[in-house]
Chain A
């Protein structure tokens, strides 16, 4: 990241430096000792949210349809129909494989897409607010939340949060110092393995829901650190990957630019 200050290593360390180094080492040891799970399990869990969100959408719509249908058929003589419907409701959790759900989501109407995206955003935001707690109580000596300004919070997201979630930091952070931040991740980890034979436009469209979760995470972190939700708007765009970061194989064709806007700051400093 461009914003980090390089630490010079002096030949002789002062007692404070030694003490600090000891604390940092202790912290790392403690982090090592915490229970771990397979990162791949986590990856599956993260990515399965997207088809799940569509499945929920389908099920909720079916429930609506069913209830409106059964309310119509209360007339006498329609008992057969009612039985039929109750059978339908037994089978309503028919299993749909993930790839079909993703295709359905791609072809869904805007309303369904919005609802599904909102669901993913909310899950992300739940993850974000709980992560704040987790990271605050981790006693990381490199972090101090006492006097954290907006830039500090965004840096915290770029480094600590991204590292925990995706095993890497945000590649580049740009800001106008008035509440607008651009976070560039040229290798956003959950989508790196995605590829389609179709043209790139379709691929980018299919992958878009997967980026709702990190948007939610960012929102969850910032609101739990005290930024009012109404002042916050978060979106993303795809960006080209700079020449020096391109790889010949196994890379998603675009980078992701997370765009954070905190209105409060814009107004107060105008």
Chain B
């Protein structure tokens, strides 16, 4: 894991100026999805994730807060490794500001890994927090929650963990959490990313 912290620095500097335009970001994402991605059926992905969540609900005896936490830490573990692959596949340079970061997350990262492009909105006035709105979500296609779960379970909470882990590896300490979810009967699925601080180069958490 020691290579991760240094990766953004080593990315090619040629792209730095061009990354400013969101069109380029979109192109990078689409090219990577088209040419450098092995694909599988999304339904398989959905049903596998479903099996995991339902097993967790059983293990924690429908204590959905614990299920949320478990999904989050599972995602975190994926996120800290996913970022390496992401940087290798896209060769994206360091983002100048959080706005660019949000574009990269939406148009590149989500495009490549899940083939979706959640909309970025609800910027705070200080530009340090934004929302991702999911019109589609391959984790939760065809999913319906039972009554008791729909109050407390954040079904796709693994996404928060992945984002948290991946962002932390590029020195962005963020809070990532769901605000609402169509599975809970809300009109839309909204995920909040809030930047706390930019970390100095240091050892990843849990590394001795």
Give the interface size bracket for B toward A: 35 or more
- Asked if B77 is an interface residue, CB under 8 A from chain A, the answer is yes
Report A-chain residues with C-beta under 8 Å of the C-beta of B38: 38-40, 167
Q: How far is the CA of A228 from the CA of B5 in the complex (A)?
A: 52
Q: Is the CB of B70 within 8 A of A55?
A: yes
Contact indicator A123/B51 (Cβ below 8 Å) = yes
Residue-by-residue, is A164-178 near B (CB-CB < 8 Å gives 1, otherwise 0)? 110100000000000
Residue-wise, chain A 157-197 has the 8 Å CB interface mask toward B (1 for contact) of 00000001101000000000000000000000000000000
Q: Cβ of B76 and Cβ of A95 under 8 Å apart? A: yes
A46 at the binding interface (Cβ < 8 Å):
yes
* Chain B residues whose CB sits within 8 angstroms of the CB of A100 once the complex forms: 206
Known A-B contacts A93-B69, A95-B206, A123-B51; A131 and B77 likewise in contact (beta carbons under 8 Å): no
Which one of B12-20, B111-119, B148-156, B169-177 contacts A?
A: B111-119
Contacts A95-B73, A95-B205, A100-B206 hold; do A36 and B51 have CB atoms under 8 A apart?
no
Does any Cβ of A come within 8 Å of B39's Cβ? yes
Q: Are A37 and B45 in contact (CB under 8 A)?
A: yes
Provide the main secondary structure of the chain A interface.
helix
Known: A44-B82, A134-B47. A39 touches B40 (CB 8 A): yes
**B68: nearest residue on chain A (CB-CB)?**
A93
The answer to the question of B180 belonging to the interface, with a C-beta cut-off of 8 Å to chain A, is no
B27 within 8 A of A: no
A12 within 8 A of B: no
Given the known interface contacts A55-B73, A56-B70, the answer about A41 and B52 at a Cβ–Cβ threshold of 8 Å is: no
Q: A56 — which chain B residues lie within 8 A by C-beta?
A: 56, 59-60, 70
- Alpha-carbon separation in the docked complex, A257 to B96 (Å): 52
Task: Give bound CA distance, A49 to B158, whole Å.
Answer: 12
Q: Report yes or no: B78 in contact with A45, Cβ–Cβ below 8 A.
A: yes
Judged by a CB distance under 8 angstroms, whether A60 is at the interface is: yes
Q: For the complex, is B182 an interface residue (Cβ under 8 Å from A)?
A: no
Please give, as numbers and ranges, the residues of chain B lying within 8 Å of A234 by CB-CB distance.
none
A39, A42, A55, A167 interface centre (most CB from chain B within 10 Å): A42
**Neighbouring A residues of B85 by C-beta, 8 Å:** 40
Q: How far is the CA of A164 from the CA of B180 in the complex (A)?
A: 33
Q: Mark A70-106, 1 if CB is under 8 A from B, else 0.
A: 0000000000000000000000010111101000000
Could you tell me the distance between the alpha carbons of A31 and B59 in the complex, rounded to whole angstroms? 35
* Bound-state Cα–Cα, A56 to B112, Å: 30
Give bound CA distance, A36 to B37, whole Å.
Answer: 11
Cross-interface CB contact of B43 among A34, A40, A41, A96, cutoff 8 Å: A34
- Complex Cα distance, B115 from A60, in Å, reads 35
Distance between A49 CB and nearest chain B CB, rounded to angstroms: 6
A38 touches B114 (CB 8 A): yes
- Chain B 43-73 interface mask (CB, 8 Å, partner A; 1/0): 1110111111011101110000010011001
| CB atoms of A164 and B41 under 8 A apart | yes
Across the interface, do B47 and A131 meet the contact criterion of CB distance under 8 Å? yes
Which B residues touch A123, using CB under 8 A? 51-52, 55
Say yes or no: B77 contacts A130, CB within 8 Å.
Answer: no
Contacts of B48 in A (CB 8 A): 42, 45-46, 127
A59 interface residue per 8 A CB criterion:
yes
Partner among B42, B69, B76, B205 whose Cβ is within 8 Å of the Cβ of A36 = B42
In A1-48, the 8 Å CB interface with B consists of 31, 34-42, 44-46, 48
Query: Given that A48-B77, A98-B77 are known contacts, is A39 also in contact with B51, CB under 8 Å in the complex?
Result: no
A37 to B58 Cα, complex, angstroms: 27
14 example contacts (A-B, Cβ-Cβ < 8 A) are as follows A35-B138, A40-B113, A41-B45, A41-B82, A48-B74, A48-B78, A55-B73, A56-B70, A59-B70, A95-B205, A97-B207, A119-B55, A126-B51, A127-B47
| 5 interchain residue pairs of minimum CB distance | A126-B51, A36-B39, A35-B42, A97-B206, A39-B38
